[in-house]
Amino acid sequence: MFSYNFKYELKSLLRSKWLILLTIILLTLVLFAGYSGKKKVNKRVFDIEKANNTVKEQDITVLKVLDSIEKGFVINQNLRSLPTNPMNIGYSYPRVAAMYPLETAFISTGQSDLFTHYVQPKAYGDSFFFNHAEFSSPIQLLFGSFDLAFVIIYILPLIIIAFSYHIFSLEKENGSLKLMASQPISIYKWILQKTMLRFFVLSVIVVLVLTIAFIINNYNFVENLAEYLYFLLLTLTYILFWFTVVLLINIKVNNSAKNAVSLLAIWVFIILIIPAIIAQAANTFYPIPSRTKMITDVRALKDDVSKKQDKILDNFLRDHPEYASNKKQNYSFWHKYLASQDLVEDEVKPLIKSYETQLLKQQQWVKLWQYSSPAIILQQSFNDIAGTSTTHYQEYRTQVAKFSAKWRDFFVPLLYNNEKFSTKLYKQLPTFEYKKPKYTSLLFKASIVLIMSMFFLLITRILFYNKSKKGTIIN
Amino acid sequence: MIFHVVKKELQETLRDGRFKISTAIVFVLLTVSLVLTFNQYQYNNAQYIEAQKNERSLWEEQGEKNPHSAAHYGNYVFKPKSPLSLIDQGVEKYTGISIFLEAHNRNEAQFSNASDQTALSRFGELTPSFILLYILPLILILIGYDAYTKELEKGTFAILKSQGISNTKLLFGKWLSVLIPIVTITTLLFLFGGLILSNTSDIGVFNWEALGVLYIVYLIYYLILTNIVLFISLIAKKSGVALVSSLVFWVLACFITPKIASNIADSKYPYPTNQEFSKRVAEDRKKGLDGHNPWSEEAKKLEEEVLRKYNVDSVHKLPFNYSAYRMQKGEEYQAKVYAKHYSWLDEQAQKQEKVYKSTSMISPFLPTRFLSMAISRTDYQSHRDFSEKAETYRVKTQEFLNGLTEKNSRYGERYVASANAWKKLPKFEYKPPPFSQILNSNTPMMLILIVWFAVTGAVLFFINKNH
């Protein structure tokens, strides 16, 4: 009986225009999303490369000058800006601390439009105040990006709803359900098979279309196979979840128009309302301390410290670091600056940390409550796969702060030992490499979505049983 | 006759369980969102006032100091919340709240809310505008999708016609009955919002006029949607099809078009990266006068010029402190460089806006979204206005500080201003542009919205006549 059912449903699916329309819509959406995602990633790489190239060019000139000085040639250059002064290198020739996109970055824009992907920490300046905000049109941020994650999380369920909202009720309304009941197959088995067949067909189309998008984007399947498979697995469990919801509503409501309305309400709740409520709750329970207050606090603190600094640092030099290296005294501006900088940083640390901890707490809250909506689970997982989650950027910020300290610390001994900077030391300059953080197992997340689907399926079975006992399934 | 239609339809809607549940949910959501945004608003406002006060007292109590040291110490200016941000927070989440004003550099606004929140906040927020823009249209679809199809399905269309009602009258009745519930909810929200705002102290420039215009914008939005939903119901044969088609329109208009528009705008007129922008500015700055660098060619040129003008042979003989004069000239040059680059950025933003405007032809959501932000003064334009006024204040502050040294000391002297000098700097008072100016600059969007209404109305009317 299964094969009859399967054959009939497949034939009627293939014959209807729905399937072609569905494929075309999905293909267009996915290809456009994949294309614009890739375009963003390319721009990101291009920007980083450009900065890297500038550094390389500068390096060549500086190395030449250093080489000439070491060989004893006379250099026609302003004495203050000679690269033999280590602090000049530390201030004027910073490295690029870049966060290169992962191969999978095109999947989900995540937080990547908010934050910068490369900074150049200098030996001078507040490393804790490092500005990680990116220049982008706020309207763009408000509307968000059209990426693969959006197509899968928002649009795919709507397609499933539009495709199957009357999968059962239509049979009842057309009167074919009564005929079906006279056949030697249980109605429940039959509708389950019918739904699963649709799930199967849609899954094949989605996997195909997504794979095409990956291939077009030159995805390296050999190296990043796991990410690709996880991405598909999550998408498939999400599709399954929505089909079980559709089935449940079909059995429960069993009226085409009412089905559609109920399904839509569920869509709005799972995708719009629940995430908004959880985000709001995170802000309410773990409010980020006021930045306005922080600004005034930090300034008051700096004011305090600078009063202490006055003993070691004379005002003029603090305002004019560029004069400092000119002074031929034992303790230059840099000596005093670096000393006072540590003082400021130590004092400000707890304040700055309060923001990071609060954000961490918010994230833990979201991590816990993401299981209230498969849409959140998917968004979080996609951001994790794409390397564009809040955690990724927070990790990057931490790594940059560490690198910034390392960069400064590289020059401190040179400065205090009165050592000159040389070509040999140039090779030892610290470099930055971004290491991505670990995240919750994707397999675990996929299985949670699967369990949700199974739960809905179970409820459907119970409902069906109760309804058929009462005899309200067919009539 | 119209009255009977309206009465019957409304009664039907009110008896519908789905309508009851969804209106109840919308009311709960609206109340929650209003309470939340109001709390947030008051919290932010209190902080704004406190921060501004603290900031000013820090500035005034600097003690004896060289004015240029004070210029490097700098000051922060804070953006006040606009009262109507209670209804629509616009892009406020993505623009910073404060700008640091210092010598030589123009800084961007720092610390946007979005960067301090988890990725979840990108899904959307529970604010009145979210409900007005996304959820109420959905309720409207829910009420109106089967306005005509149900008559076909139940076979009541012929009976209805036999009562002697004209197509136009029937349409008008249905039209009103779809609109009335939505308009009631909206009116209540706006009345309530207005009452809250007019009864709260510390309100900036709240006026009922702006709230009224905002109300009208949303009404037009719902009128357009009613036209479209009824149009679909008229040409569809089945309720299910009508519902799905209306929903497709909703998703296209509210979700897909804005995102596609933003993708196109961004790839066509991209913003530079933060680093790239600073690099460009730095390159231009190198070409001109730097107040801290007396050895550059530009500095020498200026020196010669000034000496010639005052007919003296040494800067020591000038009647003012020449180094402060040079500092000010350098400041002016740097301000010009910033003005150039920021106006380029501004052009880029305006080109992007044109993309949004042209996509507004496809989706009535876009003009509504933009008008709503503009009237609430939470759009990008308002932010730019604030940022420009802060820059003007920065330039004036530098002029004031350099002037102190210039007038009160001689070349080569290290001038220390007295402790009470800082109080003389005028306070920064942000005056947002008048409401009429906002209306004027948004007339095109308003026109687009009206055209949307006129066209959908006309199509609906003619289709209905020949039905």
pLDDT per position as a tens digit, B7-33: 888 888 788 777 787 888 888 888 888
B99 φ, ψ (degrees, to nearest 5): -125, 130
Identify whether the C-beta of residue B186 lies closer than 8 Å to the C-beta of residue B218.
yes
Identify whether the C-beta of residue A234 lies closer than 8 Å to the C-beta of residue A445.
yes
Query: Does pLDDT of A297 surpass 80?
Result: no
Q: Under 8 Å CB-to-CB from B131, ≥6 apart: which residues?
A: B26, B29, B30, B33
Between B208-235 and B443-465, two packed helices, what is the crossing angle to 10 degrees? 30
Q: Which residue in A36, A166, A296 is closest to B55 by CB distance? A: A296
Distance in angstroms (rounded) separating the CA atoms of residues A16 and A6 = 15
Query: Does pLDDT of B373 surpass 90?
Result: yes
The one-letter amino acid code at A210 reads: L
Q: Which residues of B touch A290 (CB under 8 A)?
A: 47, 51
Mean of per-residue pLDDT scores for chain A:
83
- Name the burial class of residue A439, with classes exposed (0-12), middle (13-18) and buried (19+) by CB atoms within 10 angstroms of its CB: middle
Reported as half-sphere exposure (CB side, CA atoms, 13 A), residue B37 has a value of 27
Region B429-439: mean pLDDT is 89
Question: Quick one: DSSP state of residue B63?
Answer: -
Q: CB–CB of A154 and B255 under 8 A?
A: yes
Give residue-wise pLDDT tens across range A46-62.
999 998 999 999 889 88
Q: Which residue in B240, B293, B345 is closest to A260 by CB distance? A: B240
Tokens for A108, please give them.
């989900």
Distance in angstroms (rounded) separating the CA atoms of residues B401 and B421 = 9
pLDDT confidence tier of residue A418, bands split at 50, 70 and 90: confident
How many domains does one find in chain A? Answer: 1
Query: Does pLDDT of A313 surpass 70?
Result: no
ipTM: 0.87
Q: CB–CB of B97 and A291 under 8 A?
A: yes
Give residue-wise pLDDT tens across range B284-310.
888 877 777 777 777 788 878 878 887
Residue A177, strand partner residues: none
Lowest-confidence range among A126-140, A226-240, A407-421, B351-365? Answer: A126-140
Region B136-151: mean pLDDT is 89
Q: Which residue in A36, A139, A389 is closest to B356 by CB distance? A: A139
Query: Does pLDDT of A416 surpass 80?
Result: no
Residue A153 lies in a domain: yes
pLDDT confidence tier of residue B273, bands split at 50, 70 and 90: confident
DSSP string, A403-460: HHHHHHHHHHHHHHTTPPP-HHHHTT-------PPP---HHHHHHHHHHHHHHHHHHH
C-alpha A377: how far from its chain's center? 13
What is the reported pLDDT for A308? 65
| DSSP SS3 for B237 | coil
Residue A101 lies in a domain: no
- Name the burial class of residue B332, with classes exposed (0-12), middle (13-18) and buried (19+) by CB atoms within 10 angstroms of its CB: middle
Identify whether the C-beta of residue B119 lies closer than 8 Å to the C-beta of residue A379.
yes
Domain limits of chain B?
2-465
Residue A25 lies in a domain: yes
Distance in angstroms (rounded) separating the CA atoms of residues B6 and B186 = 19
Distance in angstroms (rounded) separating the CA atoms of residues B330 and A434 = 39
A111 φ, ψ (degrees, to nearest 5): -95, 10
User: Of A355 and B143, which is predicted with more confidence?
Assistant: B143
Distance in angstroms (rounded) separating the CA atoms of residues A269 and A271 = 6
Identify whether the C-beta of residue B218 lies closer than 8 Å to the C-beta of residue B132.
yes
What is the reported pLDDT for B366? 94
Query: Does pLDDT of A14 surpass 60?
Result: yes
What chain A residue is nearest to B78 in terms of C-alpha separation? Answer: A292
Residue A384 lies in a domain: no
CA distance, residue B183 to nearest chain A CA (Å): 21
What is the reported pLDDT for A349? 79
What chain A residue is nearest to B64 in terms of C-alpha separation? Answer: A315
User: Of B137 and A413, which is predicted with more confidence?
Assistant: B137
Residue B65, strand partner residues: B417
Region A215-244: mean pLDDT is 93
Query: Does pLDDT of A332 surpass 70?
Result: no
pLDDT confidence tier of residue A130, bands split at 50, 70 and 90: low
Distance in angstroms (rounded) separating the CA atoms of residues B280 and A31 = 35
Residue A215 lies in a domain: yes
Structural domain range at position A21: 2-29+148-269+441-470
| DSSP SS3 for A119 | strand
